[in-house]
């Protein structure tokens, strides 16, 4: 089987309803460890013949993820008839394998995808082997005798030649600038204590009897027999035959076995910088800090530090923290000085602005008082002019005023109190308005005049 990609909540529900047993991997696109462990998850899904394994990202199913109470990425949950049985949190493929092995019996008996009879069917061992041999001979088109001869001729060449890795090594010049600065002072990596794995052929630990049974009795070539035992899950003859039946049409089925194939991973390695991490927590912290997401499992083991090395490392970390603290304090001092300068400058600006505003206010008040004085002076001059005009008019008219109070301004027409007869040339209107001789003026009769 292959790793099944689920892209919606409906697909997830359909997957759980369709399969009696299944494993769902809850992942996230932004999760570095999820991306790093996906190739190993695909390989595990490919080797799992009874339990289908799927993967779904939290952004594709929305709020449905809260139904399964997922608290970490990745999280592997084993379902039986849609009900959770067990879960494994974090990149723990060994725990996932143990979980699959512990609950694989819930899936019941499984048939090979290419057809045929089950290993525990009605046939005995000899009949089952004969049937499988006949099927393989029909597919491959090679006789049993020819395969046995090929096995005999290749017995002395069981170990493939080492293939030199052509991948260029990562040097300091190829690293980003921020990675150059942190390479020497990185306290999370254990690369300096890496122990190289033993240069041991991966086929040395295979069971000779199983190889002999596959080559001489079933007719497989030595290389294919070794691959079947090496890459199958059970490491038995039956599991090797199932693996060979599933991969017999692969393009690289007859390629040499790579070095360290089938070895157990004991650490994690960054493909970009080559740093080795013994713990997944260190890997996650490094991935979050640097942004690297391309990691792989490694067979290189990390040698534990001695007490002296731990003490030296702790001292080194303390010195580093002290230097960082001093650097931060210096930066804070400089920042405090700059803030004080800005505060003083702003204080001066505010004082100058306030002084200018007060000066402008005083100037406006002085201009207002000056304007009032000018207006008062003009009013006094106007009144004096009116009085002078009335005085001249009285002199010219023998104490009489001809003016009247009108809308044009101050032009009083005073009531004349004369006992003399009006002259002959006086206008009739004026003579009619003058009170009769011998009468006394009365303010209550002012409307008569």
Which positions are annotated as active-site residues?
31, 34
Token pair recorded at residue 120: 């525990």
Spatial CA neighbour of 129 closest among 42, 216, 34, 196? 216
**Strand ranges, E, within 166-271:** 194-195, 267-270
3-state helix, strand, coil in the chain (%, to 5): 55, 10, 35
Peptide bond into 74 cis (omega under 30): yes
Beta bridge partners of 83: 80
> What's the CA gap between 438 and 441, in Å, rounded?
10
CA 234 to chain centre: 42
CA 429 to chain centre: 106
- What DSSP string runs through 17-30? HH-SEEEEEEE-TT
Token pair recorded at residue 142: 């090679």
Give the dihedral sign, CA 439/444/445/449: positive
Helix or strand holding residue 208 (H, E): helix 208-212
- Centre a 10 Å sphere on the Cβ of residue 60 and count the other Cβ atoms it contains: 17
Phi-psi region of 196 (alpha: psi -120 to 50; beta: other; left: phi over 0): beta
Give CA angle at 365 (359, 371), nearest 5°: 135
> What's the CA gap between 196 and 173, in Å, rounded?
25
Residue 268 DSSP one-character state: E
Beta bridge partners of 79: 22, 84
Instruction: For residue 64, give every residue at least 6 positions away whose Cβ sits within 8 Å of its Cβ, in sequence order, or none.
Output: 9, 12
Strands 194-195, 295-298: pairing is unpaired
Residue 1 DSSP one-character state: -
Token pair recorded at residue 57: 């990202």
Residue 202 DSSP one-character state: T
């Amino acid at each position: 089987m292959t790793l099944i990609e689920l892209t919606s909540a409906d697909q997830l529900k359909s997957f759980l309803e369709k399969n009696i047993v299944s494993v769902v991997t809850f992942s996230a696109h932004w999760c570095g460890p999820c991306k790093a462990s996906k190739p190993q998850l695909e390989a595990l899904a490919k080797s799992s013949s009874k339990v289908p394994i799927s993967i779904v990202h939290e952004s594709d199913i929305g709020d449905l993820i809260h139904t399964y109470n997922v608290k970490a990425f990745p999280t592997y949950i084993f379902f039986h008839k849609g009900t959770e049985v067990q879960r494994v949190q974090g990149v723990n493929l060994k725990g996932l394998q143990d979980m699959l092995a512990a609950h694989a019996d819930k899936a019941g008996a499984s048939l090979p995808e290419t057809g045929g009879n089950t290993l525990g069917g009605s046939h005995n061992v000899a009949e089952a082997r004969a049937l499988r041999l006949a099927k393989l001979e029909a597919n491959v088109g090679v006789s049993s005798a020819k395969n046995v001869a090929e096995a005999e001729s290749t017995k002395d060449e069981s170990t493939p030649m080492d293939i030199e890795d052509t991948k260029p090594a990562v040097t300091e010049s190829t690293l980003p600038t921020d990675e150059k600065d942190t390479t020497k002072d990185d306290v999370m990596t254990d690369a300096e204590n890496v122990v190289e794995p033993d240069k041991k052929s991966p086929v040395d630990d295979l069971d000779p009897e199983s190889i002999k049974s596959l080559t001489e009795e079933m007719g497989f070539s030595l290389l294919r027999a070794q691959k079947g035992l090496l890459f199958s899950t059970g490491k038995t003859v039956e599991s090797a035959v199932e693996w060979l039946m599933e991969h017999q049409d692969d393009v690289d089925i007859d390629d040499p076995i790579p070095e360290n194939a089938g070895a157990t991973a004991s650490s994690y390695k960054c493909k970009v910088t080559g740093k080795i991490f013994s713990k997944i927590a260190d890997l996650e912290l490094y991935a979050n800090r640097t942004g690297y997401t391309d990691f792989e499992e490694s067979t290189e083991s990390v040698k534990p530090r001695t007490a002296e090395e731990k003490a030296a490392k702790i001292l080194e970390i303390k010195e580093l923290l002290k230097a960082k603290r001093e650097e931060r304090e210096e930066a804070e001092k400089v920042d405090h000085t700059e803030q004080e300068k800005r505060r003083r400058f702003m204080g001066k600006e505010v004082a100058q602005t306030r002084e200018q505003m007060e000066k402008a206010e005083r100037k406006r008040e002085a201009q207002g008082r000056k304007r009032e004085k000018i207006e008062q002076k003009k009013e006094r001059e106007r009144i004096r002019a009116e009085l002078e005009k009335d005085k001249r008019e009285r002199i010219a008219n023998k104490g009489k005023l001809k003016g009247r109070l009108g809308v044009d301004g101050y032009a009083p027409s005073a009531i004349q109190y004369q006992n003399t007869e009006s002259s002959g040339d006086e206008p009739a209107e004026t003579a009619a308005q003058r009170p009769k001789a011998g009468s006394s003026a009365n303010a209550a009769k002012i409307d008569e005049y």
